[in-house]
Structure 1
Amino acid sequence: MSTTGPQTAPENDEAHDGATEPPDPDAAVAAHHGDPPAEQRAMARSAAVVDRSHRDVLAVTGAERLSWLHLLLTQHVSELPPDTGTEALVLDIQGRVLHHMAVAATGDTVYLDTEPGEGTPLLDYLQKMVFWSKVEPRDATAELAVLTVVGPDVPEVLERAGLPVPTAPHGVAGLDGGGFVRRTPWPGRDAADVVVPRAERDARWSALTAAGARAAGTIAFEALRVESRAPRLHRDTDDRTIPHEVGWIGPAVHLTKGCYRGQETVARVANLGRPPRRQVLLHLDAGDEDLPRTGDPVQRDGRAVGRIGTVVQHHELGPIALALVKRSVPVDAELTAGADDRVSPVTIDPDSYEPDPDQPPPGRAARERTGRGPGRRG
């Protein structure tokens, strides 16, 4: 078991023909520590720790931090209890997803951590919205680094490493000297982000591995994330994605709050319609060299009906991927995925397919009852 600290990301020396592979968002950290399948099994059966210190971290301080963020984010944070975490989005005016972040409120600060490279545009947006509010958003990426522990033994590992164990699944506990521990409901059965001063990253890594967490890389983390059907910005979303399509209503979007950009679209789709696409888990019938890539089309009878998101090799399920497909695609449809010389059959995992309810959305049903709108069309 490695205790020497996070390692540089191994090079990916695979050569691909055809379309350009999307940039690896995790290239700055270790992809694995020698045995990705074993690292996945540790996450599923005991515990493993992953270096995610390439994530961008913002800090928001000031007396009005919660009420101010409440006006900008999709989540209800104006009354977020101390030492609590959640997820949130920033949308454009059409309700399409621009930013996704994990949120942690502890002490006198709200922390927002987001995808590598997304901190600068998110901070720019927040700073433009300060006006006269008593808030101070800043970039804390140079100050804090994210390590994530995954697995059913997370509580025991945290305790043995001398760290607090917040109440699952969204509890937050501040750390002496800076940083915090935040429990999260994915990936896998249990997880916790250990966000520490960057200068302490290697020491905390060593403490966690000495406490029983296997050293693991992003390959294993991404495999369990896909199994958990937790979408990732820019991998499992495109420039048309609205929150309803990828399961962010609830975890990152509060339907009964308003006062944020894009709220009209969110409410209209929830109350009057259905989102045009749905996220599903696909099982891929292809070898390692023939797997589709992020952004490749999903096709039915030769016509594009969706796009491939994150593609992974799962230690039990084999090659799987998240995908966005048209809502009209049935769960048993015969589909293919990929482009050029990497087209292969795929099937939708029925457990990931949530059929539309028999009743129309609440707003449309009310219109039909009162005769103020058109009846439901087939």
Structure 2
Amino acid sequence: MAMFDSLAGAVRDGDTIAHFGNPLIEQRRLAAGDALAPLGDRTVIEVTGEDRLTWLDSITSQSVARLRAGESTELLVLDPQGRVEHAAGVLEDGTSVWLIADAADAEKLAVWLQRMVFRSRVTVTLRPEIALVGFFAGGSAEARIVAAAPHGTPLVWRDPWQHVQPGGHQYADVEHHPGSDYAWSVALVDDARALSEPFAGALAAEALRIAAWRPRWAHEVDDRAIPHESDWIRSAVHLSKGCYRGQETVAKVHNLGHPPRRLAALLLDGSDVILPAPGAVVLAGESEVGHVTSSALHYEDGPIALAILSRRAPVGELLVRSEDGIDVAAAQQVIVPADAGATADVPRLTRLSRRPLGDDPRNAGA
């Protein structure tokens, strides 16, 4: 992205800055709240007009109709079968709704939104000229964002992944969810030249996301993905809001069934420092049970990954097969249990006896 062309020491991977020389040091600084991460792989969509909130509420998975200025959330766009098509962070500023989407999805999302306007009083505009910068709240990085903003009032999206959102539900059965420490924020920036060091690249930001079990459209979504399998109901789906496309599947799987796949975290054997690429096959013995969606080298945990597995995949240790055909041992942390869903207490019907009426002792003397 041209906004970040002036940043010294940046090592690029296309439009994304991968790192600034030492991804692990950058990761520590980012986690401590001291580094800023240029996000060339995200794009902003602006939605204006007096119907913007009620309109978005009616066509997406999240309840946003009463969002107030300065509040953040997250939404999904689902197809009629409940599969994830688009995802975006949501920030309302009192005049506009700012949607933060993965760059590969942003234009398609904007086109879909424009098609859905009909008679609603809204305007949808793709805003690629606005730069996005990620940071963790509470440190010096946040202070530098405020100092660089016009009038000291930056537009900042706060990732809702830290907490189960109103109307949401968490499938992960853990005492301390790693997402509770994930105070990730994204600032909208007009002039990246006003930002100051230290910086961190995408490798650092991705490692911290994976460690927090945080799903992302660019990695955890394919043409079969439903929100349940990656625990995305936690932050992006309101289970009791009004109707929207895909709601029937969301409700049915949550109340009566189980998602056919489940997200798991993998702690990889780091002895050979082999980092499997997304798409790498996950094995239980000789049986293929899923694939890696994201992987990274974490500054404390070593090689880590997220993987989408079959619901019936065993809970124990797995193997990940690298592109070179090398099998890497992987300790599994269950994120979405195999029995996730079926939360409704549906009474079972009493089975009717097939015995003839005259054989029932309760009918004696009738």
In the superposition, the TM-score normalised over structure 2's length comes to 0.82
1:95 and 2:106 correspond: no
Letter in 2 for 1:261: R
- Equivalence for 2:47: 60
Specify the structure having the higher radius of gyration (Cα).
Answer: 2
- C-alpha offsets along residues 256-298 of structure 1, whole Å, 9 cap, x if unaligned? 1232111111010011011111111101125667432101221
Q: Which residue of 1 aligns with 2:332?
A: 348
- Partners of 1:74 and 1:51 in 2: CA distance: 28
The 5-angstrom pairing of residues 1-378 of structure 1 reads 6-7=7-8, 10=11, 27-142=14-129, 144-150=130-136, 153-154=138-139, 156-159=140-143, 162-163=146-147, 176=151, 180-184=155-159, 189-197=182-190, 200-203=191-194, 205-206=195-196, 209=197, 214-285=198-269, 290-349=274-333, 352=335, 354=337, 356=339, 361-363=342-344, 365-368=345-348, 370-371=349-350
Give the Cα separation in 2 of the matches to 1:341 and 1:150. 37
Secondary structure at 1:103 match in 2 = strand
Look up the equivalent residue of 2:38 and give its one-letter code.
D
Contact 1:244 1:275 in 2 (8 A): yes
CA contact (8 A) 2:35 2:141 kept: no
Change (3 A) 1:102 1:30: same
- For residue 71 of structure 1, report the CA deviation from its aligned partner: 1.2
For residue 166 of structure 2, what is the aligned residue in structure 1? none
Give the direction of change, closer, same or farther, for the CA distance of 1:7–1:236 in structure 2 (3 Å limit).
farther
Specify the alignment match of 1:169 in structure 2: none
Maintained 8 Å contact 2:57/2:64: yes
Cα distance change of structure 1 residues 177 and 215 upon mapping to structure 2, 3 Å threshold? closer
181-190 vs 32-41, greater mean Cα deviation? 181-190
Task: State the Cα RMSD in Å.
Answer: 2.7
Question: For the Cα contact (< 8 Å) 1:96–1:240, is it kept in 2?
Answer: yes
Offset at residue 31 of structure 1 (A): 0.8
Over 3 Å counting, the alpha-carbon distance change for 1:141 and 1:177 in structure 2 is farther
Equivalent position SS for 1:30: strand
Find the aligned partners of 2:23 and 2:272 in 1 and give their Cα distance: 14
CA contact (8 A) 2:275 2:296 kept: no
Residues 164-212 of structure 1: CA distance to partner in whole angstroms, max 9, x if unpaired? 9xxxxxxxxx965996122335675423211122xx1121x22xx3xxx
1:349 aligned counterpart, secondary structure = strand
| Aligned counterparts of 2:286 and 2:260: Cα–Cα separation in 1 | 20
User: Structure 2: any 5+ residue segments left out of the alignment?
Assistant: 162-178, 352-366
CA distance in 2 between counterparts of 1:255 and 1:371 reads 30
Distance 1:293 1:323, change over 3 A: same
Aligned to 1:71, the other structure's residue is in SS state helix
Q: Take 1:362 and 1:4, find their aligned partners in 2: how far apart are those partners? A: 50
One-letter code of the match for 1:123? Answer: A
Q: How many residues align?
A: 330
Task: Specify the code of the residue in structure 2 equivalent to 1:6.
Answer: L
Task: Give the conservation status (yes or no) of the 8 Å contact 1:8–1:30.
Answer: no
User: Aligned with 2:326: secondary structure?
Assistant: coil
Offset of residue 139 of structure 1: 0.9
Structure 1: unaligned runs, 5 residues or longer: 12-25, 165-173, 373-378
Q: What displacement does 1:44 show?
A: 2.7
Distance 1:161 1:77 in 2: 26
- Tell me how far 1:312 sits from its aligned partner: 0.5
Structure 1 residue matching 2:253: 3-state secondary structure: helix
Distance verdict in 2 for CA 1:120–1:323, change over 3 Å: same
